[in-house]
């Protein structure tokens, strides 16, 4: 997207539900973000596109296949549209290659078989869908070894196959020759598949071809310059591929789970992200982050060093949000993010986390107290009053009375906003 302005959307809440956590990627037509679903407490992927490109959302709504991420929701904001999708936690095949992953011939064949299955689904739609940009970057492998095809920015319906005469809807090195003339069809997808499998072979390409000449024949037919000489359809290509190593491919119900387990271990180890079962207690991990507040850099009063402590703490808390998913843990981390923002004199950041906290858990009483008193410290008494009223509306009278009896802090809050609220508050 030429001339696009890269705006930091961190903290923005779409549709009052999807809170943008961080930007995780940026392509030619838009950006990808990680967001947290405040209602369900889980992560979502959010793709940002110019509103003129909303056709991708319309396309995704029509597709449902195990290899395709599910479209969850859709939003528009300030000239952009946002596609909220199922979050695929894993790495692209391109990332795995960069990290030194060597795909075996059997793995390459299995990936090819999976992609042909989803291409068969797309090509058999009415109207047919042509993907147009198959490459390792757009194939995601989860920690469980499941393959996903992502990013439909270049996909077109059959009736649109001649609609892009002036541009190539694809990636150089993977796009078929006809795509440079603005044409996409099912033959184009087979060409991209051949180039993708070639790439996955890495330096072992010719070794694999010598070991299995029929694999070389498969690649050759995929990548014929003349579209009419490639595979007629995905079923034909899949049948040929399955016959290369019939025993190994037909027994994939046994072999694939084992391969998936090995790949899962490799992905987890290489990413450095601990598996959920091995996560230590949150309190122990928090101590590692919060101890910096008591270190020399912070206590010295040097603003540069303090700023570094604040930034490191926020980054650490944000990482924990992605790892610890229980409501109690999420609440604790959001509270600390808010406190950290206020310590750093970033009132806007602190307020953002307080609002996230109440959106995520509207019945968390102490959240109203902390947010309300924060607003008082900012001399924003009218807004603190609004939070007080919100607390009254969302929490039952019995709960409020119990909380007020047990804590002087609630009385202090009421006293701070009394001049604004007036006499009516004294009897509430």
Q: What pLDDT was estimated at residue 428? A: 43
Q: Which residues pair with 77 in a beta bridge?
A: 80
Q: What pLDDT was estimated at residue 275? A: 44
Tokens 């059997």 — which residue?
106
Q: Can you read off the two tokens belonging to residue 421?
A: 């609220």
Report how far residue 394's alpha carbon sits from residue 362's, in angstroms, rounded to the nearest whole number.
7
Classify 275 as helix, strand or coil: coil
**Cβ count within 10 A of residue 44:** 24
Closest CA to 200 of 227, 180, 219: 219
Question: Are 270 and 262 within 8 A, CB to CB?
Answer: no
- Whole-angstrom distance between the N-terminal and C-terminal Cα of the chain? 55
Cα torsion through 68, 271, 328, 345, rounded to 10: -110
CA torsion sign for 399, 403, 409, 412 is positive
Cα torsion through 220, 223, 224, 228, rounded to 10: 120
**Structural domains for the chain:** 13-86 (3.30.200.20), 90-270 (1.10.510.10), 276-427 (1.25.40.10)
Q: What pLDDT was estimated at residue 278? A: 67
- Helices first, then strands: H and E counts in the chain: 18, 11
Tokens 């009278």 — which residue?
397
Helix or strand holding residue 149 (H, E): strand 147-149
**DSSP-assigned letters across all residues of 246-257:** HHHHHTHHHHHH
Report how far residue 145's alpha carbon sits from residue 261's, in angstroms, rounded to the nearest whole number.
7
Q: Can you read off the two tokens belonging to residue 367?
A: 């959240």
Report how far residue 347's alpha carbon sits from residue 340's, in angstroms, rounded to the nearest whole number.
10
Q: Can you read off the two tokens belonging to residue 263?
A: 């790949």
**Cβ count within 10 A of residue 234:** 22
Cis peptide bond prior to 127, omega within 30° of 0? yes
Taking every pair of Cα atoms in the chain, the longest distance, rounded to a whole number of angstroms, is 88
Q: Can you read off the two tokens belonging to residue 277?
A: 């079962």
Q: What is the pLDDT along the chain (428 residues), one digit of tens a residue?
A: 344 445 567 778 899 899 998 888 776 567 888 998 888 888 999 988 888 777 777 777 788 888 998 889 999 888 888 989 988 888 999 999 999 999 998 899 999 999 999 999 999 988 889 998 999 999 999 877 889 998 887 888 776 666 555 566 788 899 999 988 888 899 999 999 999 999 999 988 888 888 888 999 999 999 999 999 999 999 999 999 888 854 344 434 334 444 444 454 454 445 554 444 567 888 888 888 887 776 666 677 778 888 888 888 888 888 888 888 888 888 888 888 988 888 888 888 888 888 888 877 888 888 888 888 888 888 888 888 888 888 888 776 666 665 554 567 777 788 888 765 554 444 44
Q: What pLDDT was estimated at residue 119? A: 96
Closest CA to 47 of 31, 62, 60, 35: 31
Report how far residue 422's alpha carbon sits from residue 417's, in angstroms, rounded to the nearest whole number.
8
**Cβ count within 10 A of residue 178:** 19
């Amino acid at each position: 997207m030429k001339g696009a302005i890269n705006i930091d959307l961190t903290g923005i809440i779409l549709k009052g539900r999807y809170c943008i956590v961080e930007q995780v990627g940026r392509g030619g037509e838009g950006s990808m973000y990680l967001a947290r679903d405040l209602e369900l407490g889980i992560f979502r992927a959010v793709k940002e596109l110019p509103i003129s490109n909303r056709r991708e959302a319309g396309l995704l709504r029509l597709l449902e296949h195990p290899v395709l991420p599910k479209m969850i929701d859709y939003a528009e904001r300030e000239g952009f549209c946002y596609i909220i999708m199922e979050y695929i936690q894993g790495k692209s095949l391109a990332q795995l290659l960069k990290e030194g992953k060597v795909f075996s011939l059997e793995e390459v064949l299995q990936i090819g078989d999976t992609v042909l299955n989803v291409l068969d689904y797309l090509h058999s739609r009415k109207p047919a869908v042509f993907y147009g940009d198959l490459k390792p970057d757009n194939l995601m492998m989860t920690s469980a070894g499941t393959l996903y095809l992502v990013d439909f920015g270049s996909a077109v319906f059959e009736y649109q196959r001649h609609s892009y005469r002036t541009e190539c809807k694809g990636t150089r090195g993977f796009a078929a020759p006809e795509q440079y003339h603005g044409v996409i069809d099912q033959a184009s997808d087979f060409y991209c598949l051949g180039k993708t499998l070639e790439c996955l072979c890495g330096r072992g390409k010719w070794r694999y071809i010598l070991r299995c000449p029929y694999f070389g024949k498969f690649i050759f037919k995929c990548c014929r310059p003349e579209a009419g000489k490639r595979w007629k359809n995905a079923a034909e290509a899949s049948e040929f591929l399955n016959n290369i190593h019939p025993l190994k491919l037909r027994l994939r119900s046994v072999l694939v789970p084992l391969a998936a387990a090995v790949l899962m271990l490799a992905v987890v180890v290489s990413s450095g992200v601990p598996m959920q079962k091995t996560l230590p207690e949150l309190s122990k991990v928090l101590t590692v982050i919060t101890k910096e507040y008591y270190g020399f850099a912070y206590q010295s009063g040097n603003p540069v060093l303090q700023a570094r402590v604040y930034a490191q703490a926020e980054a650490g808390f944000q990482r924990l949000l992605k790892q610890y998913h229980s409501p109690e843990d999420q609440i604790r981390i959001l509270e600390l993010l808010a406190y950290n923002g206020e310590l750093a004199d970033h009132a806007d950041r602190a307020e953002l986390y307080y609002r996230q906290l109440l959106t995520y858990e509207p019945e968390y009483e102490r959240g109203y107290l902390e947010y309300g008193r924060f607003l008082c410290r900012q001399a924003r008494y009218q807004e603190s009053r609004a939070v007080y009223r919100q607390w009254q509306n969302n929490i039952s009278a019995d709960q409020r009375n119990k909380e007020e009896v047990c804590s002087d802090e609630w009385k202090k809050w009421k006293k701070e906003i009394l001049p604004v609220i007036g006499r009516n508050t004294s009897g509430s």
